[in-house]
């Protein structure tokens, strides 16, 4: 059975179960269950097939079929890059579909068939995006993906901010897709205009420099908006918190990676890059990564914070791609391989731990009804499993050993360090910039996730909601445990992970690259992980045996002699982040609403701190205004009188007629 037929079966299953849930709309419970069951089965099937295909190195498959459209053939196929992204889609979608069963249960009064249908449709469209081999099918699937996710984002459309988030998302997606349209039209034109076939683009040799550069910039804007590069990220921190948590997990875990897929796919068309492409992508990655994590630190909405971390992680992925491009430009396949392998593995890893973290955030929301970090605290007592899995996700996303995030970041570091001393001039400098940015991002991410984990799960509850939190339903717990297990597995077995990304990375490098070296290079990481686990266990045993039989007392935390401490006096997320944000004050705007205590017997005091994202206001809005002003000149021909428009039509006809007549004569 070929991979494509498994993919087709899974697509049929996903779509059919989605439609079935629409038919079952009268019973909200069944609607979600049926759609999720179909999705989970389809995803498990697809996952198994794609892992097998990647490890066994299955050959490229392509299917062409007639297509009643004037744009060439209907064309699907899989190569290593598609299979890798299929794997990412299947694994995260499967977990999110499982999670949805329990999570959507709390919305029982609503029609759950529609979100279940759109959820499955979103998975279907993402799969079609990565198997499409012609631009028309690709764009169709891309638009369905946008629409399906839009309807999922606006699920709670009774809330004003959700409607606004959906609107921002819709506008951003449509502006960006215009660039993708232009990109494909441009590539098609440059290859002779005969077809929109990806194979044709890829076989075209030697693009002129200006053409390649234009295509890259179009791809970076068009696909980069979906991926969430700064400053085109503005839709992302609004849309992710607005959506239900399993949808946030799916969007953040894999949907934004479709942007990365688009960029990588475009790079496979364009052939060997000049050096400045690598520099540009490193710069984009460094800016997105650093600004993303700084904004994440400034948030106190749990899901919004995670959304900003997606921007940070997309930045890390871009740093990896940048290192890959630099290696390619210097015709050093080993370095390029390390960069691309790191970037691809980070795509998978981010899908796993960000999916996990959004699922845990959903469990917190489910249990307490609030996303405000500063209203939570001490949740670990009531939600041990969610707390533990969140901790695993947090350590993983910080890129700390012994979990999966470290493996991918290590690969990018490794490529960057080696580029620093093997390459010359601009390549080496870009590599050092990449590794410095990565270290700053790493340090700030640790700060941010200590803040989240500490303030949400540890300490004492800051509100009655947090005090009366309850555990999550079984399906939600299963999904988080599976996600955490995957993070641990990759961390302890990096060789396996490198094998999975080896084929797609080779495809990107293009030149002869050997995966073997890198698979041996990550060997010691597995050893470090094992020693770390062993030593931690030994020390824990040592501590246990030392304390056995001795007096162990429990008392309240020492309040420095002050007897009337309350949980609200604990350090909040805002205070925790404050010294971190001070050095970066120029990137943020701080808004303080203060209502201080007054009078001899002060009764009420209030202090509220917000940080605004300035990208929209300082960069995108002025830019849009300029464009609107420039296009406003066209208004000269618009008057709103219907007779004038009729005159325009007549004029057009006359001009066309005259032109055609002149042509016939000539």
Residues 340-359 that bind another protein (CB under 8 A): none
* Segment (H or E) for 76: strand 74-78
* Residues numbered 541-560 forming contacts with another protein, rule: CB under 8 A: 542-543, 546-547, 550-560
Binding range to another protein, per CB under 8 A, among 49-57, 233-241, 344-352, 565-573 = 565-573
Instruction: Compute the radius of gyration of the chain from its Cα atoms.
Output: 26
C-beta closer to another protein: residue 287 or 580: 580
Binding range to another protein, per CB under 8 A, among 135-143, 467-475, 478-486, 538-546 = 538-546
C-beta closer to another protein: residue 438 or 502: 438
Cα 169 from chain centre: 14
Binding mask 429-468 for another protein (x = CB under 8 A): x--x--xx-xxx-xxx-xx-xxx-xxx--xxx--------
For residue 56 the two structure tokens come to 């066994």
C-beta closer to another protein: residue 231 or 420: 420
CA distances from 190 to 52, 114, 253 (A): 37, 42, 34
Taking CB under 8 A as the rule, does residue 316 contact another protein?
no
Sole residue written with tokens 């601009």: 426
d(CA 465, CA 210): 59
C-beta closer to another protein: residue 80 or 487: 487
**Minimum distance from residue 558 beta carbon to another protein (Å):** 7
Residues 224, 576, 588, 613: which binds another protein (CB under 8 A)?
A: 576
Residue closest to 383 by CA, chosen among 480, 469, 484: 469
Binding mask 389-428 for another protein (x = CB under 8 A): --x---x--xxxx----x--xx--xx--xx-xxx--x--x
C-beta closer to another protein: residue 253 or 378: 378
Cα 462 from chain centre: 31
C-beta closer to another protein: residue 243 or 455: 455
Cα 218 from chain centre: 20
**Minimum distance from residue 521 beta carbon to another protein (Å):** 6
* Residues numbered 150-179 forming contacts with another protein, rule: CB under 8 A: none
C-beta closer to another protein: residue 99 or 414: 414
Our CA dihedral for 505, 511, 515, 516, rounded to 10 degrees, sits at: 180
**Neighbouring C-beta atoms of residue 183, cutoff 10 Å:** 24
Give the largest Cα separation in the chain, rounded: 109
Binding range to another protein, per CB under 8 A, among 58-66, 101-109, 492-500, 563-571 = 563-571
* Residues numbered 488-527 forming contacts with another protein, rule: CB under 8 A: 521, 523-525, 527
What is the three-state SS of 605-622?
Answer: CEEEEEEEECHHHHHHHH
d(CA 343, CA 44): 24
C-beta closer to another protein: residue 400 or 489: 400
**Burial letters 370-405, b for 16+ CB under 10 A, else e:** bbebbbbbbbbebbebbbbbbbbbbbbbbbbebbbb
336-307-288 Cα angle (round to 5): 40
* Residues numbered 34-93 forming contacts with another protein, rule: CB under 8 A: none
* Residues numbered 581-610 forming contacts with another protein, rule: CB under 8 A: 582-583
Binding range to another protein, per CB under 8 A, among 156-164, 347-355, 562-570, 633-641 = 562-570
C-beta closer to another protein: residue 528 or 651: 528
**Whether residue 413 has a cis bond before it, omega within 30° of 0:** no
d(CA 309, CA 241): 12
C-beta closer to another protein: residue 539 or 621: 539
**Minimum distance from residue 103 beta carbon to another protein (Å):** 25
**Minimum distance from residue 480 beta carbon to another protein (Å):** 18
**Minimum distance from residue 396 beta carbon to another protein (Å):** 11
Extract the runs of DSSP E, i.e. beta strands, from 401-546: none
């Amino acid at each position: 059975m070929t991979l494509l037929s498994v993919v087709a079966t899974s697509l049929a299953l996903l779509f059919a179960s989605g439609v079935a849930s629409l038919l079952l709309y009268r019973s909200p419970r069944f609607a979600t269950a049926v759609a999720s069951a179909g999705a989970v089965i389809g995803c498990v099937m697809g996952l198994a097939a794609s892992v097998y295909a990647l490890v066994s190195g299955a050959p490229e498959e392509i299917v062409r079929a007639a297509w009643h459209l004037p744009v060439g053939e209907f064309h699907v196929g899989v190569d290593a890059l598609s299979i890798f992204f299929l794997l990412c889609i299947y694994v995260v979608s499967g977990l999110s579909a499982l999670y949805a069963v329990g999570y959507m249960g709390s919305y029982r009064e609503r029609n759950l068939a529609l979100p279940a249908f759109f959820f499955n449709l979103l998975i279907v469209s993402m799969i079609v995006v990565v198997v499409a081999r012609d631009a028309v099918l690709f764009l169709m699937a891309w638009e369905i993906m946008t629409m399906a996710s839009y309807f999922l984002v606006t699920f709670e459309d009774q809330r004003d901010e959700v409607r606004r988030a959906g609107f921002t998302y819709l506008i951003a997606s449509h502006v960006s897709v215009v660039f993708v349209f232009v990109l494909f039209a441009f590539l098609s034109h440059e290859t002779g205009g005969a077809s929109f076939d990806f194979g044709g683009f890829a076989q075209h040799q030697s693009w002129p420099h200006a053409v390649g550069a234009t295509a890259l910039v179009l791809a970076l804007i068009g696909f980069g908006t979906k991926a969430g590069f700064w400053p085109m990220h503005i839709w992302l921190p609004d849309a992710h918190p607005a959506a239900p948590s399993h949808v946030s997990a799916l969007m953040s875990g894999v949907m934004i990676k479709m942007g990365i897929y688009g960029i990588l796919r475009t790079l496979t068309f364009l052939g060997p890059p000049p050096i400045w492409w690598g520099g540009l992508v490193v710069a984009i990655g460094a800016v997105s990564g650093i600004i993303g994590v700084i904004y994440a630190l400034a948030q106190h909405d749990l899901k919004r914070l995670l959304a900003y971390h997606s921007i940070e992680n997309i930045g890390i992925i871009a740093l990896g791609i940048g290192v890959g491009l630099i290696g390619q430009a210097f015709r050093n396949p080993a370095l390029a391989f390390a960069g691309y392998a790191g970037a691809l593995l980070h795509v998978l890893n981010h899908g796993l731990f960000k999916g996990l973290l959004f699922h845990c955030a959903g469990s917190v929301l489910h249990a307490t009804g609030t996303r405000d970090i500063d209203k939570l605290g001490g949740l670990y007592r009531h939600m041990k499993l969610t707390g533990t899995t969140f901790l695993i996700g947090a350590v993983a996303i910080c890129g700390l050993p012994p979990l999966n995030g470290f493996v991918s970041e290590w690969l990018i570091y490794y490529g960057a360090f080696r580029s620093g001393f093997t390459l010359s001039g601009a390549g080496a400098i870009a590599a050092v910039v990449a590794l410095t940015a990565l270290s700053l991002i790493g340090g700030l991410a640790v700060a941010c996730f200590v803040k989240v984990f500490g303030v949400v799960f540890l300490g004492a509850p800051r509100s009655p909601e947090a005090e009366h939190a309850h555990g999550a339903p079984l399906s939600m717990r299963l999904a988080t445990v599976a996600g955490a297990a995957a993070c641990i597995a990759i961390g302890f077995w990096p060789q396996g992970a490198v094998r999975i990304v080896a084929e797609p990375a080779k495809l990107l490098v293009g030149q002869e690259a050997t995966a073997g070296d890198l698979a041996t290079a990550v060997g010691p990481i597995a050893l470090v992980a094992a020693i770390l686990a062993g030593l931690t266990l030994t020390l824990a045993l040592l501590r246990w045996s030392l304390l056995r039989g001795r007096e162990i007392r429990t008392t309240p935390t020492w309040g420095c002699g002050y007897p009337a401490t309350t949980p609200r006096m604990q350090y909040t997320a805002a205070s925790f982040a404050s010294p971190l944000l001070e050095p970066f004050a120029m990137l943020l705007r701080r808004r303080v609403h203060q209502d201080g205590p007054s009078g001899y017997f002060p009764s009420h005091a209030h202090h509220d701190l917000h940080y605004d994202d300035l990208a929209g206001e300082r960069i995108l809005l002025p830019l849009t205004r300029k464009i609107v002003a420039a296009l406003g000149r066209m208004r000269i021909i618009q008057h709103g009188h219907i007779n004038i428009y009729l005159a325009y039509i007549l004029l057009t006809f006359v001009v066309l007629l005259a032109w055609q007549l002149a042509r016939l004569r000539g």
